[in-house]
Structure 1
């Protein structure tokens, strides 16, 4: 009898704990994005925060002109102009990785790379490297505290996030003002240029606060998920050397690599990348098996029925990208990394709709998906043509899914410089130690 009473108390305690957890979860879900926008927004900012936008001033169900702006930002012409800049940023980064005497933390360095790409390429900011490094550290503090409980107390994560956001916006305002004053010598229109020009065309002169919010939004959109996918790409190329070699063979066949191994200059264009079928398969498979985010949510616009259950209008529904990829009947051996499943001979993703949706689906699909795929393709090409790299640990790390998919230890990898025949260039001391006496 006493034992049954203890069981009842234990069950009630568990139920109470669950109710508290759910209450906290609902509170966080309701106020989560206040940290990013609503809590410190300038009262003079007139951009609407539409229903379904999660507090983002540039995303939602209204503002048709903004959709037109983003269509320009990620158009074929815009991507063509971004491509050489993206390639330069990646090349500089890989040279830095190769010159580092020790192994690097790939996930951390990939975050720096995508942040630099957003600042240099998307926004066209000419920020000195030292200032850029400081801005990245502040941005990391901001991102780390985005998912804090919305409790504004001294030393709380929420307060640290607010403070980081204020410092970020101060730095971004300085960069924006310098950019607006210096318009000479630009050879392409970046995303911020297009945003400003298009807003003027639609009679919507943007305030400085709106420009800062839009800039921060573009950085955020290009940051975490792309760093996650970049890390997964490097990990899979390490795990599957035959895939890397097959990729190199395709590059040689298309004149991107000389037969001896060194890269050909001036060969990377959008049409060239589009013709690299196996490269496309590799990127697709990385995004299938290692989708950076688990899913998303939508608001039901019209009552419908799914598997015998009626879903009422106005409800919020969640969909899982990972579960969809894992359970879709079109994919064979779902846990196996197999880029050839997307080849023309097999085309597993062509059998039916919404089996493959790493960027979401429907009218609310990711607007920047073409830029993300372009970045990953250029990274893969540069890795295959100019880099040699080895895992610096005995085993590959476990993967965690929060806040985005990434290795728990960041993935420790040693990169090497290459000579013209793609042979490793060892540091001088290491070369002397390994020399035959």
Structure 2
């Protein structure tokens, strides 16, 4: 048995697959082990010396669309073991090439020959997050990123942190002690409230709840099996969510243009490069919709994962709590948050075990080569950190929660440049990664000061990968006031 297979088997024994219909283990094993006829994606050019990409269509009509949603990381590891780092599969009515493992993902994300375009996202989310920064390519992406960078300077980040501190303290302070909330939903409401205040200078209330629903509908629509606006379907809900978001930002944009406030919406309205380049009104609306989604969804997932692992490992919870208590009672600024080095180890390990964005979409603009395989033009590609984060060649005992692997004495993330890539990589590496780390630190810091939390010893979270990974049961925890 290979090392990858050992990791996949251990994972299956630890966590049952996610499904709304419980199935016996024997049935699950049969589904996971189902072998479909292997076919070649395309014949390589004569004399190229390249190999054809292997793969299979999966089940009729739906392909493998549901497999990752059901089996998650285990399915990805089994697929990697079966076909290696370059393969294709049928899913969502398309043939999608999967690039897995550090070497293959590095080739796609560094993208030296400019073969990989962000147009891959168009298939999944373009209708809902059109022309967000992540969907732009090459020169246009570089130009927009240069303008946006002025909204993420250290001074701007310090201002955002100053705003989020009181909002986090107020929100967490309202949680009932000695209760068993489904914490994912509590954190989602909290991070949206913070995003509303920091990004839009909007207090929580009916508008905030309405926008939250619109964001949720827009995100989930991207992986809809039925990709038509059928009434009551996820695709239709996503299109309606996009309309709600556009209307809100367009109505509020003129006021933001007039007044240069401390919120991100104002920052984007006034962002200017040294050459005087600025965003159009349409640019600001598109970027705000995308950034709101990216910021509050990924922060919620990361915070939830960190809370879960701190509940499973109370010795680490006490260790990071002691660190937080040493900061005193004032809401921490960026300098104080930077001192929470042990908490940062925990957050990095949570990001490794539960990558908030489990797949990065690309599309090939021209024929290219990946690790000796012929990858044709106009091919939809999925680049996934899932395998990288569990690769036994990079990580010691990869299923174990072990924050010390990121300590300076070990730095297992340096075993390969793309061993750890929760923020993506290359030119499209997340522009808000420092903001995200500050927010997760500030949130956990407030929780640690006020509460202890726990889960039953035999509890194992199951992650729903229908869109972005969320705990299927909402993560019920016992909150106890310190």
TM over 0.5: yes
Q: Is residue 147–residue 277 contact of structure 2 (8 Å, CA) maintained in 1?
A: no
Whole-Å separation in 2 of the counterparts to 1:292 and 1:165: 22
Q: Quick one: distance in 2 between partners of 1:134 and 1:318?
A: 32
Structure 1 residue 359: Cα displacement:
1.1
> Is the counterpart of residue 33 in structure 1 residue 98 in structure 2?
no
- Separation (CA, whole Å) in 2 of partners of 1:246 and 1:416: 17
Structure 1 pair 302–143 and aligned structure 2 pair: CA distance change class (3 A): closer
CA distance 1:69–1:339, change in 2 (3 Å):
same
| Matching residue of 1:4 | none
Match of residue 265 from structure 1: 330
Partners of 1:129 and 1:85 in 2: how far apart? 18
Paired residues for 1:9-408 under 5 Å: 18=60, 21=63, 22=90, 24-26=92-94, 31-36=123-128, 56=135, 59-63=136-140, 64-98=142-176, 102-123=179-200, 125-127=201-203, 129-148=205-224, 149-180=226-257, 186=261, 189-198=262-271, 206-252=279-325, 255-256=326-327, 263-265=328-330, 268-298=332-362, 306-311=370-375, 317-391=381-455, 395-408=459-472
Task: Say which is worse superposed, 15-24 or 208-217, in terms of deviation.
Answer: 15-24
**1:103 and 1:409 mapped to 2: Cα distance?**
12
Shift of 1:293: 2.2
- The verdict on how the C-alpha distance between 1:302 and 1:166 changes in structure 2, with shifts beyond 3 A counting, is closer
- 2:453 and 2:237 mapped to 1: Cα distance? 37
Cα-to-partner distance string for 1:20-43 (whole Å, 9 max, x where unaligned)? 7448432997644353156xxxxx
Structure exhibiting the larger radius of gyration computed from Cα positions: 1
- Does the 8 Å contact 1:392/1:412 carry over to 2? no
Deviations along 1:42-96, whole A, 9 cap, x unmatched? xxxxxxx59xx78x4xx33233331112322222222111112222222122112
Which stretch shows the higher mean deviation, 207-216 or 90-99? 207-216
Say which structure, 1 or 2, has more relative contact order (CA 8 Å, 6+ apart).
Answer: 2
Deviation at 1:232, TM superposition (A): 0.5
**What TM-score do you get using the length of structure 1 for normalisation?**
0.75
Q: 1:412 is paired with a residue of what secondary structure?
A: coil
Give structure 2 stretches of 5+ with no counterpart: 1-35, 38-55, 64-89, 97-119
1:380 shift after superposition: 2.1
Distance 2:367 2:343 in 1: 41
Native 8 Å contact 2:151 2:271 kept in 1: no
Distance in 1 (CA, whole Å) between partners of 2:451 and 2:229 is 47
Q: Give the Å deviation of 1:121.
A: 0.5
Deviation at 1:306, TM superposition (A): 4.8
Cα 1:319–1:130 shift into 2, 3 Å: closer
CA spacing shift, 1:308–1:272, aligned 2, 3 Å: same
Equivalent residue, structure 2, for 1:426: none
* Structure 1 segments unaligned to the other structure (5+ residues): 1-9, 39-48, 257-262, 423-437
Q: Distance in 2 between matches of 1:16 and 1:400?
A: 21
TM-score normalized by the length of structure 2: 0.68
1:204 Cα deviation after fit? 5.8
Is 2:150–2:271's contact at 8 Å kept on the other side of the alignment?
no
